[in-house]
Amino acid sequence: MLPVDKPAGPTSHDAVAIARRALGTRRVGHTGTLDPFASGLLLLCVGPATRVAEYLSGLPKTYQAVLRLGEQTDTDDRTGTVIAASDVWRTLSRQQVAEALERRGGRQWQVPPGYSAKKVAGERSYQRARRGESLTPGPVQVTVESIRLTSWDPPFAGFETTCSTGTYVRAIARDVGIDLGACAHLVELRRSAIGPHSVSTAIPLQVLQESAFQGRLLSALEALSHLPRLDVDDVSATAIGHGRAIPVPAGFNAAAAMVVWQGTLLAIGAARDGRLQPAKVFDA
């Protein structure tokens, strides 16, 4: 896996294309899209690691963001057209804004932006929105694990949030504006972490274009360090290699766990009722 720091401007697909050229392989994919105007961490799975992408895409994500009060856009971010305005922000205090952000925390139903990748009647909603169709995507359940105000420079409010995959930070900005009786949209967004992986250890995309990525690839064990780990002996390794379940220690239960043999990722499997059944087996 290759952690990359994407600048604002390129799409996530652009980043994958650059990685394919730099690494000389078509087998590159990412584990979570970033909007073009956003920057920050992309986890690129390379070669055989593309088989473990599903175990990374569901990790919570941490963002540093800035919203602007006083204007609402049709995309809920700075790339859109202003469709409503309000001067209510002039009467708001730092405390009121902080509390409105805090109310966005927890498990909740969130309406995705009209311009989003969510499908409506089998078609991406942004495709229908670009044709001028008026639509509101159905709400989806998301979890905002934490959210806090980090700066207040009216009409701009900076905040940090850690949220579940599928959460739209620009929708959070929109809804904070609604909660405050004002208008709001997102003007800055940077993803600083995906699960245990931090953007501080990522390689800038500009450097990747220069092919200076040697030594920056993470092993599968490093990439999946958030999963429970089960080290096995030769007998269990042979069984796993043939797709058979193996016994596990009492109390070892996990929807997905790494099976490690001689320091190498052998498989990923589900452990319950004292047995681990391999779901994916890798070459040792």
CATH superfamily of 227-281: PUA domain (2.30.130.10)
For tokens 């602007």, the residue is: 68
**What is the fold, at CATH topology level, of the domain defined by 61-194?**
Pseudouridine synthase (3.30.2350)
Give the confidence band of 115 by pLDDT, cuts at 50, 70, 90: low
pLDDT digits (tens, 9 = 90+) for 252-275: 999 999 999 999 999 999 999 999
pLDDT beyond 90 at 117: no
Which residues have C-beta within 8 Å of that of residue 119, sequence separation ≥ 6? 125
For tokens 């078609």, the residue is: 123
pLDDT digits (tens, 9 = 90+) for 182-224: 999 999 999 999 999 999 999 998 887 666 666 678 888 999 9
Quick one: pLDDT at residue 226? Answer: 94
Structure tokens that stand for 31 in this block: 């584990």
| Residues 257, 260: Cα–Cα separation, whole Å | 10
DSSP characters over 213-278: -TT-PPPHHHHTTTS-EEE--HHHHHHHHTT--EE--TT--EEEEEEEETTEEEEEEEEETTEEEE
Quick one: pLDDT at residue 124? Answer: 47
**pLDDT, the chain, mean:** 89
Percentage of the chain modeled with pLDDT above 70: 89
Quick one: pLDDT at residue 207? Answer: 82
Looking at residues 21-42, what average pLDDT do you find? 89
**What is the fold, at CATH topology level, of the domain defined by 2-57+198-220?**
Pseudouridine synthase (3.30.2350)
Question: What is the pTM assigned to this prediction?
Answer: 0.87
Quote helix, strand, coil % in the chain, to nearest 5: 25, 40, 35
- Intervals of CATH 2.30.130.10 along the chain: 227-281
Percentage of the chain modeled with pLDDT above 90: 72
pLDDT digits (tens, 9 = 90+) for 118-146: 545 554 445 444 545 556 678 999 999 99
Q: Indicate left, alpha or beta for 164 from its phi (over 0: left) and psi (-120 to 50: alpha).
A: beta
Q: Indicate left, alpha or beta for 115 from its phi (over 0: left) and psi (-120 to 50: alpha).
A: beta
Q: Which of residues 2 and 93 earns the better pLDDT score?
A: 93
pLDDT beyond 50 at 234: yes
From 35, 76, 77, 175, the catalytic residue: 35
For tokens 């190498």, the residue is: 264
- Intervals of CATH 3.30.2350.10 along the chain: 2-57+198-220, 61-194
95 C-beta neighbours (distance < 10 Å), count: 10
To the query of whether residue 35 is one of the catalytic residues in this protein, the response is: yes
